[in-house]
Chains A and B, each alone.
Chain A
């Protein structure tokens, strides 16, 4: 069974710092990997989707990389802002339409 792990579980940084969130998965047979943010009381917001044939995707201050063979992905956030404070989840899509989520990294950006 696919297992997705995110490290660290929580991260606190001062405003303006660059940071990296890590995601690892045990089965490299994936169709894509998606990064989400989850705000308290709200649903999930899709940030970036990387297809299995791709190595990275960028959107604004966010850059996500994928190394499928080693089962790893990173989400890089540049020049962090207090509004970036949220829980970040990665999820991999495998066969039979299963989307496996990690437990998330809770990010706090201190003004």
Chain B
């Protein structure tokens, strides 16, 4: 089966514009994560979805960031009024189920966002 896919692969936008990033998890995976990686830095956790539970938004850096997930399928990460500091690679991951200590996360190729 297909792995985690993300679109677009690259996005260049102007400061102040809104962007929407898409993630298609592996079919059947109930958990979905968004991370970002700024140049030269490690990955930062952004948000976590598990089934129909309320998402864990504790990693979102500001209220300009939001994410949605339809059931156990596609997720979109929206960044409003983009700033240059939002330039990063945004990674999505999914896992079969959240059984603490046993889950393996499978990552997509990422979306490279450049804010001019």
Instruction: Please name the residue on chain B nearest to A102 by beta carbon.
Output: B42
The size bracket of the interface on B is: 20 to 34
Within the complex, the shortest CB–CB distance from A105 to chain B, in Å, comes to: 12
Are A43 and B4 also in contact (CB < 8 A) when A97-B56, A97-B98 are? yes
One of A93, A98, A104 near B101 (C-beta < 8 A)? A93
Are A31 and B101 also in contact (CB < 8 A) when A97-B48, A97-B50 are? yes
Task: Determine if A49 and B104 form an interchain contact, defined as CB atoms under 8 angstroms apart.
Answer: yes
- State the main secondary structure of chain A at its contact with B: strand
Contacts of A97 in B (CB 8 A): 33, 48, 50, 56, 98
**B51 at the binding interface (Cβ < 8 Å):** no
**B62 at the binding interface (Cβ < 8 Å):** no
Expressed in whole angstroms, the Cα–Cα distance for A89 and B89 within the complex equals: 15
Instruction: Please name the residue on chain A nearest to B33 by beta carbon.
Output: A99
Task: Determine if B101 and A52 form an interchain contact, defined as CB atoms under 8 angstroms apart.
Answer: yes
Task: Determine if B43 and A91 form an interchain contact, defined as CB atoms under 8 angstroms apart.
Answer: yes
**B91 at the binding interface (Cβ < 8 Å):** yes
Expressed in whole angstroms, the Cα–Cα distance for A50 and B14 within the complex equals: 42
| 14 intermolecular pairs with C-beta atoms under 8 Å apart | A41-B109, A42-B109, A43-B6, A43-B107, A52-B101, A89-B43, A91-B43, A97-B50, A99-B35, A99-B45, A99-B105, A103-B40, A103-B41, A103-B42
Instruction: Supply 16 further A-B pairs (C-beta < 8 A) apart from A44-B93, A93-B101.
Output: A32-B101, A41-B109, A43-B4, A43-B91, A45-B107, A46-B107, A49-B104, A93-B103, A96-B56, A96-B58, A97-B98, A99-B43, A101-B35, A102-B42, A103-B42, A104-B42
